[in-house]
Amino acid sequence: MGYSTELKNHQNEQHKFRIRLLILILLVLAAFSALASRFYFLQVHRYDYYQTLAENNRISIVPITPNRGLISDRHGVILAHNFFVYTLEITPSKTDDLQDTIADLSKIVEVSPTDLKRFKKLRAQSHTFESIPIRTHLNEFEAARFAVNRFRFPGVELKSRLFRHYPYGTLATHAIGYISRINENDLKKLKEHSELSNYKGTEHIGKAGVEQAYEQELHGVTGFQQVEIDADGRAVRVLSSASPTSGNNIALSIDAKLQEIAEQEFAGRRGALVAIQPATGEVLAMASMPSFDANLFVDGIDYDNWNLLNNSLDKPLINRALKGIYPPGSTFKPFVALAGLESGKRLPPYTISDPGYFMLPNSRHRYRDWKPSGHGSVDIRKAITVSCDTFFYGLAMELGIDRLTDFVRHFGFGEKTNLDIQGELSGLLPTPDWKKRRFKQPWYMGETVIVGIGQGYTLVTPMQLAHATAVLANSGKAIQPHLVNAIINAKTNAVKWLPHVVADQLPIHPDNLALVRQGMIDVTKPGGTAASVGANASYNIAAKTGTAQVVGIKQNEKYNEHAINERHRDHAWFIAYAPAEDPKIAVAVIVENGGHGGSAAGPIARKVMDYYLLGKLPPVVIPEGAELVVNAAEETHDATGLVEEAHD
């Protein structure tokens, strides 16, 4: 009985299996019939068509490169566009003798040694069947002369190519970036992203700034023509084609005029300025001085110009706004002050009596105030206004390094702002953990003390400091800064606005914010450290000056601005937002080796704010007020000698 059930089961199973097999067999027959009919379709039904194609064959696919998207400022001023130029190109594999060809060619159009050098460089990087430009930017006359003589030059072709041009040259170069010839590295990246075929025929790619970060938007989709070619490789007939899709246009948040004013106001000095709209995170200006002409790179920069830029002591190629890291100096104080208020440790009517120095318990080391005689009785508002070091030494010690850094981190210190272009550094917000990892050393209390005045290991980029100022102006709400406002479809003009990303939202008591703001407004009023900056302003400016030390000063030495080498002079910082009651713009300026923040960096910020808020430049001459002279010696910190040199 049991045996027969099993047998029955077995047969039952086998039966089910065979039904499944049958289904698979039907699948096979169906699939193979589909294949057979496809073969019939291709080989019988469409035979004539394919036969003709194969006969005359040679089908070649010619890419049609799309127009690269334009870049404009926030008001539509074009900052990067394309124009057609004639280029002469040689395909080495098609020439009989390359040397002779070039020699003959130079009798018809001028070929300079620079052209030759570039040709050789490019030739070394490409295959012999690729066409390489020997001359670019031919004028109409030269083009015509070559066209007449064309038959004498097999393998040489006159091509009309789109070139990128930056009409304002050096303006905002570090924000816009530039494009340059595609190299091996770019090819590898394109391959990884399966973009290689979309770049057939494209010779340039974004290498820096917005041109690099928004490459995908700007490039567009390459079109193609399927053409029949004759034995000489000339197109005879177009079989099918797909037009290219132009890259999207990009509208920056940068205001070109504002940017121009900022760059002009540096008047040859080194430094950086970043201006941000606090409520939106839109970067209104991002200057890194000196700048350079991006047009030099488009066509492959020549050796001499490259050396000049690369070896310059002023380092024009480095984007100081994102890559320059400096101690924030006293510009750090408003943030520390807010930490003191929010922790409840420095709420009014708390005051100290400043003897001109601060000492840790059980230590005889004096942390000196920039004003040797001290500031007298100081509350938190006055501490900001007069930039009282003693006040902040004590506050930092009482808060402790962890509480201090945890608080100011909300303003973006020690972290990248995640600006929408590459290359940003994150600065440094030192903590005991960090020091242990980095130096394998314990944290000392003295190091906490000097963090209170923005010295020690603390490092920021101008972008970070501008962002932090914008967060402060925006009552603790951090909007990620960005350079691109909108992406515009070149064909339909449809505008895609990029969203404003809220990066952090720190709840701060309005009274505390008001107190810090009042201290900062007083900075630009008579008695403040930047009184001259606020002179004759029709709106209130909340600001803070600062100094970043370049060379450490020993305990008993005195800093003398005039006696030391210009490049060892302190860097001047200035941060501000205005109008103080309803902030529309937040600015951070650093002037390298500028000395004092109020006199060197402040006026630049003022002119930028005047233009943005009032639409005009202030009177050219700054009144030489008495405050300016009095306050010039502000904040020449010695700290402890632990102060690191500022990096640039």
Partner 1 sequence: MIKKWFTQFIRHIDSVLLATVLMILVVALMTLYSASGQSMAKVNGQLMNIMVMVGVMLLAANTQPQHIERIALPAYLFGLLLLVAVALIGDVSHGARRWLNLGVTKIQPSELMKLAVPIMLSWYFSKREAQLSSKDYAIAGLILLAPVLLIAKQPDLGTATLVFASGFYVIFLAGLSWKFIFGSAVAFGAALPVLWSMLHDYQRRRVEILIDPSQDPLGAGYHIIQATIAIGSGGTTGKGWLNGTQSQLDFVPERTTDFIFAVFAEEFGLVGCCLLLVLFTIIIGRAFMIASQAKNVFSRLLAGSIAATFFTYCFVNMGMVSGILPVVGIPLPLVSYGGTSLLTLGLSLGLLMSVHSHKRLVATD
Among 7, 8, 11, 40, binds partner 1 (CB under 8 A): 40
Residue 61 interacting with partner 1 (CB under 8 A):
yes
Beta-ladder partners of 61: 226
Using the minimum distance from each CB to partner 1, give the nearer residue, 55 or 624: 55
Helix, strand, coil shares of the chain, percent, nearest 5, are 40, 20, 40
Q: Which of 522, 526, 545 is nearest to 535 (CA)?
A: 526
Among 50, 303, 439, 497, binds partner 1 (CB under 8 A): 50
Beta-ladder partners of 428: 459
Buried b (16+ CB within 10 A) or exposed e, 226-241: ebbbeeeeeeeeeeee
Among 5, 8, 11, 32, binds partner 1 (CB under 8 A): 32
Residue 197 interacting with partner 1 (CB under 8 A):
yes
Residue 193 interacting with partner 1 (CB under 8 A):
yes
Helix (H, G, I), strand (E, B) or coil at 443: coil
Using the minimum distance from each CB to partner 1, give the nearer residue, 119 or 214: 214
| Identity at 5, one-letter amino acid code | T
Residue 144 interacting with partner 1 (CB under 8 A):
no
Alpha helices (runs of H) in 359-400, residue ranges in sequence order:
380-385, 389-399
Q: Shortest distance, CB of residue 222 to partner 1, whole angstroms?
A: 7
Q: Shortest distance, CB of residue 365 to partner 1, whole angstroms?
A: 53
- Segment contacting partner 1 (CB under 8 A): 68-76, 190-198, 369-377, 508-516? 190-198
Taking the C-alpha atoms of residue 527 and residue 173, their distance in angstroms, rounded to an integer, is: 39
Q: Which of 392, 393, 372 is nearest to 380 (CA)?
A: 392
> DSSP letters of 321-370?
HHH--B--GGGGHHHHHHHHHHTTSS-TT--EEE-SEEE-TT---EEE-S
Residue 59 interacting with partner 1 (CB under 8 A):
yes
Q: Which two tokens stand for residue 525?
A: 């009023």
Distance of CA 480 to the CA centre of its chain: 13
Q: Which residues are catalytic?
A: 330
Q: Is 528 exposed, middle or buried (0-12, 13-18, 19+ CB in 10 A)?
A: buried
Q: Which two tokens stand for residue 18?
A: 């065979």
Q: Shortest distance, CB of residue 165 to partner 1, whole angstroms?
A: 27
Residue 439 interacting with partner 1 (CB under 8 A):
no
| Pairing label, strands 249-252, 71-72 | parallel
- For 33, the enclosing helix (H) or strand (E) is helix 2-40
Among 49, 83, 303, 497, binds partner 1 (CB under 8 A): 49
Q: Shortest distance, CB of residue 10 to partner 1, whole angstroms?
A: 9
- Segment contacting partner 1 (CB under 8 A): 43-51, 309-317, 410-418, 599-607? 43-51
Residue 498 interacting with partner 1 (CB under 8 A):
no
Among 11, 13, 312, 568, binds partner 1 (CB under 8 A): 13
Among 180, 222, 248, 640, binds partner 1 (CB under 8 A): 222
Using the minimum distance from each CB to partner 1, give the nearer residue, 196 or 236: 196
| Pairing label, strands 484-488, 477-479 | unpaired
Query: What mask of x and - would describe binding to partner 1 in positions 234 to 253, judged by CB under 8 A?
Result: --------x-----------
Q: Shortest distance, CB of residue 63 to partner 1, whole angstroms?
A: 6
Residue 21 interacting with partner 1 (CB under 8 A):
yes
Distance of CA 379 to the CA centre of its chain: 40
Yes or no: say if 536 and 357 are a contact pair by the CB < 8 Å rule. no
Among 7, 8, 26, 35, binds partner 1 (CB under 8 A): 35
* Interface positions with partner 1 (CB under 8 A): 13-14, 16-18, 20-21, 24-25, 27-29, 31-32, 34-36, 38-40, 42-44, 46-47, 49-51, 53-55, 57-59, 61, 63, 191-198, 200, 216, 222, 224, 226, 242
